[in-house]
Amino acid sequence: MKLSRRTLFSISILGIAALLVIVVNNTGGTKIKDLTLATHDSFVMSQDQIKEFNTKTGYTLKIVKNGDAGSLTNKLVLTKDSPIADAVFGIDNSFAGVATSAGIIDGNLVATDFGDVCFNYDKTWFSTNKIAAPSSVKDLIKPAYKNLTVIENPNTSSTGLSFLAASVEIFGGEEWPTFWKSMKSNGVKVDDGWEAAYYTDFSGSSGKGAYPIVLSYGSSPADEVRKDGKSQTASITDGCFRQTEFVGVLKKAKNPEGAKKLIEYLLSPEFQKTFPTAMYMYPATPGVAIPENWSSFASKADRTYGDTLDINANRKTWLSTWSEIFG
């Protein structure tokens, strides 16, 4: 029987449709390969790790950095109707309430790492200038330390907001603004984020800045060990805040399945073991080894402040008061 061109065309279309059905059924749908992770500026994932993740999962990971954790969170809130990424890393316990209240997270935030936000000082600077180094956050308002301290803005930085919360608990609800007025009078410098404060303005880091006291982390001195085997910096473990960082899937993500795979990878022992050396934070996954030199140079505070307060309920009031002081 001879078939007409029209009949042949119809058969061809039906065949293609059937083939598509088979392909979709066999693969579970078309897999989105592109995957985007939004992070703060301090996030580190090596090219080898990205390649490993891509090879294992079949995704193509892109990392987009968005300033400090505060700036990152605020940007994700502003773009929640059309998210800039599929997953987020770096929202911490000082800004987590903003993320959950705004409804930008699909499911729950998952802890990936933690560390103590503490002041650090440059031992070499204090030795050279024959000035005793501070031993408490209360020392920072003394005349001997005028114009020596750099901190991060709590409106844009999780590090800054962490210590703001700590100061509320240390000095009390009535007195903490007085402490900050004294800090301003004593010449504290305020940067937008940790990167600028630590790597540019702090004298004890690679930036060799003009400020020998910086708001950073108890683990930071482990990154400043010199050729003589000694760290150039030390932490003031009085007045620290226990910071926890999280990862999560963003609502309306184009690739939520890829985001879940990425979270699995970030929580794996293989990636978790890089937190101490790459980001100077403690891994959240139990049983992951910590570098030996951390016992000598990475300090954990015996007591932390502010991390048990209801930051979400008080953030606006604290920031408003702090901003009025600093103008």
Domain harbouring 274, CATH code: 3.40.190.10
pLDDT of amino acid 23:
38
Residue 271 has pLDDT above 80, yes or no: yes
In a domain, 17, yes or no: no
In a domain, 320, yes or no: yes
Looking at the structure, tell me whether residues 309 and 184 fall in a common domain. yes
In a domain, 317, yes or no: yes
Return d(Cα 102, Cα 74) in angstroms, integer. Answer: 10
Looking at the structure, tell me whether residues 168 and 311 fall in a common domain. yes
Cβ neighbourhood burial of 194 (10 Å; 0-12, 13-18, 19+):
buried
Looking at the structure, tell me whether residues 180 and 214 fall in a common domain. yes
In a domain, 13, yes or no: no
Q: Which two tokens stand for residue 75?
A: 């940007």
Collapsing DSSP states into helix, strand and coil, what is residue 285? coil
Residue 290 has pLDDT above 50, yes or no: yes
Domain of 85, in residue numbers = 34-114+244-290
Q: Over pLDDT 70: what percentage of the chain?
A: 91
In a domain, 130, yes or no: yes
Looking at the structure, tell me whether residues 272 and 282 fall in a common domain. yes
Looking at the structure, tell me whether residues 149 and 237 fall in a common domain. yes
**Residue range 295-323: mean pLDDT, rounded:** 95
Looking at the structure, tell me whether residues 148 and 258 fall in a common domain. no
Looking at the structure, tell me whether residues 255 and 278 fall in a common domain. yes
Residue 222 has pLDDT above 80, yes or no: yes
pLDDT tens sequence across 110-155: 999 999 999 999 999 999 999 999 999 999 999 999 999 999 999 9
> Amino acid letter at 43?
F
Looking at the structure, tell me whether residues 60 and 202 fall in a common domain. no
pLDDT of amino acid 19:
36
Residue 90 has pLDDT above 50, yes or no: yes
Looking at the structure, tell me whether residues 276 and 310 fall in a common domain. no
CB atoms within 10 A of CB 272: 21
Query: What torsion, rounded to 10 degrees, do the Cα atoms 289, 291, 294, 295 define?
Result: 70
Looking at the structure, tell me whether residues 173 and 315 fall in a common domain. yes
Residue 1 has pLDDT above 80, yes or no: no
pTM for the whole thing? 0.84
pLDDT of amino acid 12:
43
Looking at the structure, tell me whether residues 135 and 62 fall in a common domain. no
Overall number of domains in the chain:
2
**Residue range 286-298: mean pLDDT, rounded:** 91
Looking at the structure, tell me whether residues 267 and 309 fall in a common domain. no
**Residue range 196-209: mean pLDDT, rounded:** 93
In a domain, 134, yes or no: yes
**Residue range 249-258: mean pLDDT, rounded:** 98
In a domain, 237, yes or no: yes
pLDDT of amino acid 25:
36
In a domain, 23, yes or no: no
Q: Over pLDDT 90: what percentage of the chain?
A: 85
**Residue range 274-300: mean pLDDT, rounded:** 92
The CA-atom distances, in angstroms, between 129 and each of 118, 124, 126, 167 are 23, 8, 5, 28
pLDDT of amino acid 206:
82
Helix runs in the chain, H state only: 5-27, 47-57, 69-78, 96-102, 123-128, 158-185, 194-196, 256-266, 269-272, 294-297, 311-326
pLDDT tens sequence across 29-85: 567 899 999 999 999 999 999 999 999 999 999 999 998 899 999 999 999 999 999
